[in-house]
Amino acid sequence: MNKIMYLEFERCIGCRACQAACRECGDHDAKERNYVEYVDFMESRQTYPMLCMQCKDPACARVCPANAIQITEEGVVLSAMEEKCIGCRNCTFGCPFGIPKFDFEENKMYKCDMCYDRSKHDIAPMCASVCPSDAIRFIDYDEMMQLRRKRTQMNLVEGKKPQEGNKWEYVPEFFGVYSD
């Protein structure tokens, strides 16, 4: 996998095309595994896409007593393996982003896996392939670094300082995430 996910939260227009595309992905059982959240529902209608951040040391996998959540060689954190998942829901409580969801009817956990059946062949995940505002992109590393440099320069011009000690430190370098 040579391409990576790149998110720019403020570009989200709240259309939820990413959620609809996620439901259509081959092995997702018509369930969306990404979400569109409101920044502050009481203050504005601004939304942002929320999908698995593919953490360096994923809490969801660390707290799974059955070792049901696997991590690929590329660092993609997959949904729990049905044959191993015991339904304890530790993963849903352990994730700092609230991504894993538990289906009580089927007694299994599901989460965003970057449409691994597609992304392992450098084909964009469904959410990135339909996002009209480019809030979610599937790009190569050089393009991401160029966007990050440009973003850093703009933040310096605007007088914004990076925040220290927050949950985004768990997000790996190959997953470009920006929010102001």
d(CA 57, CA 113): 15
On the question of pLDDT at 88 being above 90, the answer is yes
State which fold the 53-111 domain adopts: Alpha-Beta Plaits (3.30.70)
d(CA 54, CA 4): 11
End-to-end CA distance of the chain: 28
The pLDDT value recorded for residue 33 is: 87
d(CA 113, CA 51): 9
Q: Check: CB of residue 109 under 8 Å from CB of residue 100.
A: yes
Structure confidence at residue 94 as a pLDDT band (50, 70, 90): very high
On the question of pLDDT at 90 being above 90, the answer is yes
Instruction: State what percent of residues in the chain have pLDDT above 90.
Output: 37
The pLDDT value recorded for residue 171 is: 55
Same fold, 1-51+128-158 and 53-111: yes
Q: Check: CB of residue 87 under 8 Å from CB of residue 80.
A: no
- The highest-level CATH class for domain 1-51+128-158 is alpha beta
**Domain ranges, ordered by start, for the chain:** 1-51+128-158, 53-111
Among residues 84, 55, 89, the alpha carbon closest in space to that of 68 is found at 84
Give me 24's structure tokens. 């259509």
CA torsion sign for 90, 91, 92, 94 is positive
